[in-house]
Chain A
C-alpha cells in the first residue's frame, strides 16, 4: 500500500464515516430522549435513497404506500384513544398530525408522478416523504410501552427492523438502485484528485452536526429535548410532554438519517435491506460514545468508516467481520473505563 492508495482509502473512509456519523447522532439522540435504541434508522436512510431513485426515474416510490398504511393505522389508534378518553374535540388535531401532514408529501408525489422534477425538489420530496415514518412507528409501536425496560424496547426495535425489512422488499422490490450523483465535479487539491461528492458528504455532515449543536444550545425545543434526556420525570414536572418531545426527536433523527440516505445513495448501490448494516455501523460508532456523548460518537463513526475502508482494501469479503469484530475491543475498553454500570431495573 503506498501513500496514494492510503489517501484514497482514507478519503473513502471519512466519507462513509461521515454518513455513519449522521445516523449515529440520531441514535444517541433517540436513546437519550426515549431510551429506545432505534435500530431501524438505517432502514430510514435506505428508504430515503430508494425513494429518491424512484423519483428520478419518474416512478411512484414504494414509500408512499408504507407511509399511507402507517398514517392510517396511527390515526385509527389515536382516534380510538380519543374516543376512550372522551376527548373527541381534539379529533381535528389528531387528523392533522397523524393523517394530513404525513400524507401531504405522499400526495404531492402522487400527483406529480410521471413528470421528472428538478433534483433539489426531488431531494426535498424524498426527505419529506420519509420523515413521518419514524414518528408514526413511535406512535404505533413504542408509545404504548414507553415505560418498559431498555432491553424490552431494544427487542421491540430489533423486531421492528425485521418487519420494515420485509415491508421494504414488498414496497421497493429486490432490485438495487443508485441515484444520480449530486455533483460530478472532480477537484484537484494539491496534487490529490478529490471527488466533490466526497467533500459534499463531509461538508453536509459537518454542517448538520453543527446545526444540531446550535439547536441543542440555543433553541427552546433543543433544551426541552436535552432536559428530557437528563431527567424524564423532571422534564414532565416543568411541563414538557414526553410524547411530543419523542415525536420531535424522531423527526429530527429521521431527518439526519434521511440526509445520510441522500448522500450515500449515489455512492453505493442501495437495496431494500441495506439499512441494517449501515445502522449497525453507526451504532458501533455510538458505542464509542457509550450511547451518550455526541462528539465521541462522531469520532467513533469516522473511525468505523476508516476501518471499513482499509479492511475492504485488505479483504473486501471480511470487512463486515472486521468492523463488527472491532466491537469487542471497544467494549473491553468501555468496560474498563466506565467500570461496572449499576442498573436498577424493575423485574419484569
Chain B
C-alpha cells in the first residue's frame, strides 16, 4: 500500500465517522461517544504502559481529576466549560508531575502499586469532599458550546469527541515517529541502553506520564459534559483496571489498539449487561466484574499482544518512505591524529573485598585502535564500565578530550563523544533498523516533545533520517533498513549496534567484546569494517579476549590480569612478553 492509498483509506474512515450520526440509531451514537471517550484515556495508557513500559492502574483517577475539575468550575462556579478544560489539563499535569517525580525513579512495580494506592485515595477524596458533592456527585453540569452552537445532545458532542480522538491519534503518531518518541519506545527493557545513548530516561518517563495524564483529563472533561453529571464510581480503581483491559485487548503496543480495545470492551460490556441478568438474576453486576477479570487473566496468560498486531498481519504493509539525501548534520571537531584522547589515570574499583580494577593507567590517542585484552576475570568489563560511566571508580581519574569525566553520569559521557556497544546486544527488537540507528542520533538533534508532536521537527528529522541511512550503508545494512532489529542474526545485530554508535558521531568508539559469539565469516566482516573506520580517522577502544581477532587489528594493546595492568605495547611486543604468555598459558616451560 502506498502512502497515498493509506491517506485515502484514512479519509474514508473519517467520512464514514462523519456520516455515522445520520446512519446509526441514537443508542449506537451514545455507545460511540463512550467508545471515543474511553479511547482517548486508553490512548494515554497505551503511550504510558504499552509503549513506555510504565504500568498504571491510576488512569481512571486522572480521568476523574479532569471530570471533577471541570464539573466544579462549571456547575459550582459558573464558568465556561472551556475554562474547565484548562483547569482539568493544568490540574492533571501538575498532579502527574508531582507523582511522577516521586515514583518514576523507583522500580516498575512501585510506580504501579502507588497508582493503585493513590487511585483509591482520590476516590475517597471525591467521595468525601463537600465541595465536590461527596458520594452524590455533582449534577447540572452545563453542556459544551462552540460559539452559539450547543453540544447538548449526543449527536452533536459526538463530533467533538471523535474529532479530539482523531487529533490525539495523529499527534501521538507524530510524537512516536519523532526524536523524543523514539526515546519513549526505547524505555522498555532497561535503563543502561537508554543512558548510553545520551537520553535522560527519567525526563522522558516524566513527560510521558504527564502526556498520558493530559489525555485522561481531556477524556474526563468530555465525560463530564456529555453525562452532565459526575460521581466517584466511574473513576474507581476497578475502572482503571478496565482501561488496562481495553488497552490489552486492542494491543498495548499500537495506538490503534486504544480504539479497538475501547470499542470491544464497551460493546462487550453492553451485551454482557443484556444477557447476564438472564443467567444469574440478582447478581449480574458482580458477575460482570468476574467475567471481565477472568477474561483479562486469560488474555494476559495467552495473548498478550492483543488484536491489532494480529489484524495487521492480514493488512497490506505501508511502503516506508526511504530517506533522501539532505544537508548533513553537523559533525564534531575531530582531535588531530596522535593527540591524547582518553586518559585513564590510576583508576581503582572495589566490589566488597575484591579489587576488580587496581590502579590501572593508560592512554588512548586519537586515530588509533587500542585493544584492551586479558584472560577471563581480568577486570576488562569493569574497566569498560568505568570508562563509559556505568560504574564510578573508587580512586583515580578519567579524562576525555581534556575534560574530567570521572563521576559524570553515563548519558553525559555519551554526549561528550564516547559511543559504546554491548557484549550482550541491547536492541529494541520491535524497532526497525532505521529507527534503531536514529536513536543513536538523539544527542546530535534537539527537537523536543512539542516540536515532535506538532510536526515542527521535519527538516531536522529528514536530515537525521538521511544520516541514519548513511550509517546503515557504512555497515552494509541499508538494504534492510525497514526490517525489525529483532529479526536480524547476531552478527548483523552487532553491526547494527556499531551503526547506532557511529550515528552519534563519536570521537571514541568503545566496543565490548564485539567478536563474541560470531562465526568466522562474520568476524572477518567485522574486522574489515573496523579497519575501514580507522582509515576514516575514528579512534576505537576494543575490549576483547579473542586474541587472533585483536592482534590482527589493533595498533597497540593493553593487557590486564587480575585487575592490574600487566603491560602495554604493539601486538608483536605483547606477544613476546613472558608475563602475557604466563597469564594466558599458565607459564612457559
- On whether the two chains bind one another, the answer is yes
Residue A121, interface by CB 8 Å: no
- CB of B293 closer than 8 Å to a CB of A: yes
Interface flags for B153-193 (1: CB within 8 Å of A; 0: not) read 00000000000000000000000000000000000111110
B179-215: which have CB < 8 Å to A?
188-192, 202
Q: Is B289 an interface residue (CB 8 A)?
A: yes
Given contacts A163-B297, A335-B106, A343-B107, contact A324 B121 (CB under 8 A): yes
Please indicate the chain A residues that have their CB under 8 angstroms from the CB of B241 in the complex. 158-159, 162
Would you call A152 an interface residue if the criterion is a C-beta within 8 Å of the partner chain's C-beta atoms? yes
Binary flags per residue of B283-314, CB closer than 8 Å to A gives 1, else 0: 10011111011101100110010000000000
Binding-face segment, A84-92, A175-183, A230-238, A280-288: A280-288
- Min CB distance B202 to A, Å, is 8
Q: How far is the CA of A339 from the CA of B392 in the complex (A)?
A: 14
Partner of B192, one of A154, A169, A342: A342
Instruction: Evaluate contact between B112 and A156: CB separation under 8 angstroms.
Output: no
Residues of chain A within 8 A (CB-CB) of B108 are 149-151, 343, 345
Whether B113 and A162, one on each chain, are in contact in the complex, defined by CB atoms closer than 8 angstroms, is no
| Residues from chain A with Cβ under 8 Å of B266 in the complex | none
> How many angstroms from the CA of A318 to the CA of B122 in the assembled complex?
10
Contact, CB under 8 Å: A347 / B189: yes
In the assembly, what is the distance between CA of A158 and CA of B243, in Å?
13
* Beyond known contacts A323-B121, A343-B190: 17 more, CB 8 A cutoff: A39-B116, A141-B301, A144-B301, A151-B53, A151-B108, A152-B304, A154-B109, A159-B241, A159-B300, A166-B288, A166-B293, A324-B124, A327-B118, A332-B102, A345-B189, A347-B428, A348-B188
Listed A/B pairs (22) with beta-carbon separation below 8 Å: A141-B301, A149-B108, A151-B112, A154-B112, A155-B55, A155-B244, A156-B297, A159-B300, A162-B293, A163-B290, A163-B293, A318-B128, A328-B98, A331-B103, A335-B102, A340-B106, A340-B202, A341-B105, A342-B192, A343-B108, A343-B190, A347-B189
Report if A321 contacts B (CB, 8 A): yes
Give the residue name and chain of the A residue nearest to B193 (CB): A344
Tell me if A334 and B110 are in contact (CB < 8 A). Answer: yes
Q: Is the CB of B106 within 8 A of A331?
A: yes
A346 close to B (CB within 8 Å): yes
A341 touching B107, Cβ below 8 Å: yes
Q: In this assembly, does B99 line the interface, its C-beta being within 8 Å of a C-beta of chain A?
A: yes
Contact of B113 among A141, A277, A287, A344 (CB under 8 A): A287
The reply on A147 being an interface residue by CB < 8 A is no
Residues from chain B with Cβ under 8 Å of A277 in the complex? 120
Q: Which of B429-462 contact A (CB under 8 A)?
A: 429-430
Is the CB of A325 closer than 8 A to any CB of chain B? yes
Task: Find residues 202-254 in chain B having any chain A CB closer than 8 Å to their own CB.
Answer: 202, 238, 241, 244-245
**Which residue of chain A lies nearest to B287 when distances are taken between CB atoms in the complex?**
A166
Q: Cβ of B125 < 8 Å from any Cβ of A?
A: yes
- A328 and B99 contacting across the interface, CB-CB below 8 Å: yes
Q: Which residue of B lies closest to A163 (CB)?
A: B293
**Contact across chains for A162 and B289 when beta carbons are under 8 A apart:** yes
**Smallest CB gap from B390: residue in A:** A342
Contact B294 A163 (CB under 8 A): yes
B60-119 residues with Cβ-Cβ distance < 8 A to A are 98-99, 102-103, 105-110, 112-114, 116-118
Expressed in whole angstroms, the minimum distance between the Cβ of B158 and any Cβ of chain A is 31
B297 and A331 contact, CB distance less than 8 A: no
- Number of residues in B with C-beta < 8 Å to the partner? 52
Q: How far is the CB of A144 from chain B (nearest CB, A)?
A: 5
Name the residue among B117, B189, B289, B296 with the largest chain A CB count within 10 angstroms.
Answer: B117
Q: Check: A124 CB closer than 8 A to any chain B CB.
A: no
User: Given A158-B116, A327-B118, is A169 in contact with B283 using a C-beta cutoff of 8 Å?
Assistant: yes
Q: Which of A37, A321, A344 contacts B121 (CB 8 A)?
A: A321
Chain B residues in 8 Å Cβ range of A141: 297, 301
Asked whether, in the complex, the Cβ of B106 is within 8 Å of the Cβ of A338, the reply is: yes
B128: A residues at CB distance < 8 A = 317-318, 321
| B57 on the A face (CB < 8 A) | yes
Report if A165 contacts B (CB, 8 A). yes
User: A37, A151, A342 — which one has the most chain B CB atoms within 10 A of its CB?
Assistant: A151
Q: Is the interface of A mostly helix, strand, loop or mixed?
A: helix
Give complex CA distance A346, B486 in Å: 13
**A186 interface hit (Cβ, 8 Å):** no
State in angstroms the CA–CA spacing of A320 and B297 once bound together.
28
Q: Residues of A contacting B192 with CB < 8 Å?
A: 342, 344
Known contacts A163-B293, A325-B121, A347-B430: A287-B110 contact under CB 8 Å: yes
A327 and B300 contacting across the interface, CB-CB below 8 Å: no
For residue A328, which residue of chain B has the nearest CB? B102
Is the beta-carbon distance between A327 and B297 smaller than 8 angstroms?
A: no
Bound CA–CA A37/B289 (angstroms): 21
| CB-contacts of A65-110 with B (<8 A) | none
CA distance A348 to B430 in the complex (A): 10
Is A167 on the interface with B (CB-CB < 8 A)?
yes
Q: Bound state CA distance, A144 and B302, in angstroms?
A: 9
A170 at the interface (CB under 8 A from B): yes
Find the residue from A167, A327, A334 having the highest chain B CB count within 10 A.
A327
A324 pairs with B102, CB closer than 8 A? no
Contacts of B4-18 to chain A: CB distance below 8 A: none
> With contacts A159-B300, A162-B241, A317-B128 known, is A342 near B110, CB below 8 A?
no
Interface membership of A160, Cβ < 8 A: yes
CB distance from B276 to the nearest CB of A (A): 11
Q: Mark B110-144, 1 if CB is under 8 A from A, else 0.
A: 10111011101100110010000000000000000
Select one of B103, B190, B304 contacting A344, CB under 8 A. Answer: B190
Given the complex of chains A and B, what is the CA–CA distance between A272 and B304 in angstroms?
A: 30
Expressed in whole angstroms, the minimum distance between the Cβ of B26 and any Cβ of chain A is 31
Q: Report the minimal beta-carbon distance from B444 to chain A, rounded to whole angstroms.
A: 25
Please indicate the chain B residues that have their CB under 8 angstroms from the CB of A341 in the complex. 105-107
Contact B110 A331 (CB under 8 A): yes
Contacts of B98 in A (CB 8 A): 328
Q: Point out the residue from A154, A162, A327, A345 that lies within 8 Å of B190, measured CB to CB.
A: A345
Whose C-beta in chain A lies nearest to the C-beta of B108? A151
Contact in complex: B113, A335 (CB < 8 Å): no
| A5 CB–B CB distance under 8 Å | no
With a CB–CB cut-off of 8 A, which chain A residues contact B245?
Answer: 159
User: How distant is the Cα of A343 from the Cα of B109 in the complex, in angstroms?
Assistant: 10
User: Min CB distance, A300 to chain B, in Å?
Assistant: 13
Most chain A C-beta atoms within 10 Å of own C-beta, residue among B98, B120, B287: B120
A331/B283 in contact, CB under 8 A: no
For window 198-241 of A, CB contacts with B under 8 Å fall at: none
Query: Is A145 located at the chain interface by the 8 A CB criterion?
Result: yes
Residues B124 and A321 in contact, CB atoms below 8 Å apart: yes
Given the complex, which residues of B lie within 8 Å of A334, measured CB to CB? 106, 110
Chain B contacts of A317 at CB under 8 A? 124, 128
- Interchain CB contact under 8 A, A320 and B106: no
Is A280 touching B124 in the complex (CB atoms < 8 A)?
no
Q: Which residue of A lies closest to B244 (CB)?
A: A155
In the complex, A7→B17 CA distance in Å?
65
Complex Cα distance A118/B189, Å? 56
**A28, chain B: closest CB distance, angstroms:** 13
Structural contact, A320 and B121, CB atoms closer than 8 A: yes
Cα–Cα, bound, A327→B118 (Å): 8
Q: Decide if A324 touches B191 in the complex (CB within 8 Å).
A: no
| A176, chain B: closest CB distance, angstroms | 16
- The closest CB in chain B to the CB of A168 belongs to B286
Complex contacts, A170 vs chain B, CB 8 Å: 280, 283, 286-287, 290
B265 to chain A, nearest CB (A): 13
Q: A328-B102, A331-B110 are in contact. Are A169 and B300 (CB under 8 A)?
A: no
Q: Which of B108, B245, B297 has the most CB of A within 10 A?
A: B297
Q: Which residues of B contact A152 (CB under 8 A)?
A: 300, 304
Known: A158-B241, A327-B117, A338-B106. A163 touches B428 (CB 8 A): no
Cα-based distance from A158 to B289 in the complex (angstroms)? 12
5 pairs of A and B residues whose beta carbons are closest in the complex:
A163-B293, A166-B290, A324-B121, A166-B289, A341-B107
- Supposing A151-B55, A159-B241, A331-B110 touch, asked if A347 and B429 sit within 8 A by C-beta, the answer is yes
- Taking a contact as CB atoms under 8 Å apart, the answer to whether A342 and B109 are in contact is no
